[in-house]
Amino acid sequence: MEVDDDGSALGLSVPNEEAFGTALLSSEAILDMANLPTTVVPLTAASNQFSVAAAQQGGSNGINGSAAWYPELDVTSITIEFWARTQESVATPFRFTSGGLDGVVITDPNSLDVTWHVDVAGTPTAFSMTNLDNMDTSWSHYAFSYDEVSGVATFYVDGIAVQSLDGPDNSALVLVPGTPIELGVLMDFASANQGTLDEVRIDGTVVPSGDFLLPEPGAALLLLAAVPLLVFRRRS
C-alpha cells in the first residue's frame, strides 16, 4: 500500500507487487498516512508510508477493495496474512469466495471467525474456527494457513498460533476460478475513525510463522521498510 496510481480524489488503485498481478481497486478507499503498523519486516519495497482506510462512513461504506482473479491465485494450500485494526462489528476484513462452498472468509471483528472450504473425497466441505480475536483500535497482525497435504489449518494473532484444526489429509483448498479477493468489506470509519488495513500477503503454500511480516526480536521500536499491498506467490 505504498503507492496509489489512481489520481482521483476519491478511490484507490494500488498495484500488486507482482508485475503479472492485478491491482487492488476501490471506489471508497483512501491511503492513510497517519495510521501505520511501523514494525513490519522489510522485504523488497519502499519504506512503509501508507495504510488503506475507508473514505466514507456508515451503511454499506467501507474499504471495499477488490483484486481481480488471475492464474497465480489458483492454489491448493494457502497462507493469508495482513495487519488490521477496527472496532467494526459486522465487517469482513478478508473474503475470497464466490459465495458458495469455496474459498476462505475471515469475518466478524468482534470474535474474528475464519471459514475455509476443501475437497474431501470429491465433496466441497466447509471447516471453521471461531472466537479468534476481538479486534480493537490497535494494530494486530493476522495470519491463516492451510496445508493441503496434512489438512491442518492454523490461525495466528501477532505471530502466535491461537487455534488449529486438523482436517482430512490430502484435501485441496476449493477455489472457483474468476473469484476476486475482497478486502475491508464494510470496514468503514464509523467507530472512532477506525477501520484500517496494511501489508496484505497471500502465498500458495504454508509460510512458517517466523517468516510472517512481523518485527524481528528487538526491532519493535524501529520504523522498518514494508512491502506494497499484495504479494501473490506460487511456490513449487
Whether residue 201 is contained in a domain is answered as yes
How many distinct structural domains can be found in the chain? 1
CA distance 44 to 42: 7
Greater model confidence, 35 or 66 = 66
Greater model confidence, 21 or 218 = 21
Closest to 81 (Cα-Cα) out of 178, 201, 176, 198? 201
As beta bridge partners, residue 119 has 124
- Counting Cα atoms < 13 Å in the Cβ hemisphere of 5 gives 11
User: Residues for the chain: how many in total?
Assistant: 236
Whether residue 179 is contained in a domain is answered as yes
Q: Is the pLDDT of residue 211 over 80?
A: yes
As beta bridge partners, residue 32 has 51
For residue 178, the one-letter residue type is: G
Does this model's pTM top 0.85?
yes
Domain that holds residue 88: 12-207+221-233
Whether residue 216 is contained in a domain is answered as no
Whether residue 128 is contained in a domain is answered as yes
Whether residue 172 is contained in a domain is answered as yes
Q: What are phi and psi of 126, to 5 degrees?
A: -90, 140
CATH number at residue 203: 2.60.120.200
pLDDT computed for residue 45 by the predictor:
56
CA distance 151 to 160: 20
Whether residue 5 is contained in a domain is answered as no
- Per-residue pLDDT tens over the stretch 68-103: 998 889 999 999 999 999 888 889 999 999 999 999
Reported as a pLDDT band with limits 50, 70 and 90, residue 161 is: very high
Whether residue 1 is contained in a domain is answered as no
Whether residue 87 is contained in a domain is answered as yes
Query: Please, are residues 235 and 204 in contact by the beta-carbon 8 Å criterion?
Result: yes
Residue keyed to cell 486438523:
166
Q: For Cα atoms 229, 233, 235, give the angle at the middle one, nearest 5 degrees.
A: 160
CA distance 93 to 179: 16
pLDDT computed for residue 193 by the predictor:
55
Cell of 95: 473474503
DSSP code, position 73: G
The stretch 123-144 carries a mean pLDDT of: 95
